[in-house]
Amino acid sequence: MICFVALVFLGCNEKKSLPDSDIDVARTFIRNIQDNNFDEAANFILTDQENKAALAKLKKDAKSKSTSELEKYQMADIIIDEIEPLNDSVSIINYAISSNRTQKNKLKLIKRNGQWLVDLKYTFSGNL
């Protein structure tokens, strides 16, 4: 019994591993947005005023959706259509959500200090 409790306790203390590739960060970020987990999604954006404002806009937009819309969004799969590596530290991820396959989306990811981060400015402006 003591061994079981110790294993459960140790298992709970394990750090959640961070995604380490552009595609993994993109999927994790998108999933956090879909799950209405904006605090966790904030861990994956470049931290500047424009990106913080863009994330706040996404959060505000989510609050205006109905419960059924949010549930549909949460249940949707992420469909990666294309990964465009522009160089070693910049990628564009083209994706769609299964609940609205016709709406194409893009995320720009930039590698900073060994970590891939989402640049939402590109998502909203389209400028590299």
Domain boundaries, the chain: 20-125
Q: Among residues 90, 56, 114, which one has the least CA distance to residue 106? A: 90
What mean pLDDT comes out for the span 43-64?
94
- Check whether domain 20-125 has CATH 3.10.450.50, yes or no: yes
Burial zone of 83 (CB within 10 Å; 0-12 exposed, 13-18 middle, 19+ buried): middle
- Using DSSP's 3-state secondary structure scheme, residue 48 falls into coil
Portion of the chain with pLDDT greater than 90, in percent: 73
pLDDT tens digits along 59-89: 999 999 999 999 998 999 999 999 999 999 9
Q: Vertex 94, ends 43 and 56: CA angle to 5°? A: 35
95: β partners:
80, 105
pTM across the whole model: 0.82
Q: Which band of pLDDT confidence, cut at 50, 70 and 90, is reported for residue 122? A: confident
φ, ψ of residue 53 to 5 degrees: the values are -65, -40
